[in-house]
């Protein structure tokens, strides 16, 4: 048996297994729907459509300042010294808002 025949054989087995699994899954869904009236008829249907665009990140005033400083190339320790906070605080702000960001930023002040 060549390598190509082996791959085709494995692919055929996988497809037959997937078909069998799907049949069993659909049978189980019927059983689940009888026992649970809240179960969805179509398990792949979403209750809410996906939104095509994400909401823009709204930065606090301090996060906006940290972002500008990071974009200028400043280090966390330098930013903390200037703002009167710890390097850890600056790091937490960076992690929370995914800083530095260059676009799609809105400040909570307007």
What 8-state DSSP symbol labels residue 44? T
Quickly count helices (H) and strands (E) in the chain. Answer: 4, 2
**Residue bearing the bigger pLDDT, 53 or 19:** 19
3 state SS of 59: strand
- Report yes or no on whether pTM surpasses 0.85: no
Cα Rg of the chain (Å, integer): 27
How large a percentage of the chain has pLDDT more than 70?
75
pLDDT tens digit sequence for 61-99: 999 999 999 999 999 999 999 999 999 999 999 998 888
What does the buried/exposed string (b/e) look like for 86-106 if buried means 16 or more CB atoms within 10 Å of the residue's CB?
eeebbbebbeebebebeeebe
pLDDT at 30: 84
Asked which of 20-34, 42-56, 89-103 is least confident by mean pLDDT, the reply is 42-56
């Amino acid at each position: 048996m060549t390598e190509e025949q082996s791959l085709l054989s494995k692919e055929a087995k996988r497809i037959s297994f997937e078909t069998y699994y799907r049949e069993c899954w659909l049978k189980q869904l019927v059983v689940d729907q009888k026992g649970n009236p809240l179960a969805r008829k179509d398990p792949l249907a979403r209750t809410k459509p996906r939104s095509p665009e994400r909401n823009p990140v709204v930065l606090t005033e301090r996060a906006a300042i940290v972002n500008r400083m990071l974009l200028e190339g400043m280090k966390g320790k330098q930013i903390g010294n200037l703002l009167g906070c710890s390097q850890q605080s600056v790091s937490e702000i960076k992690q929370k808002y995914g800083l530095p960001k260059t676009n799609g930023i809105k400040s909570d002040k307007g």
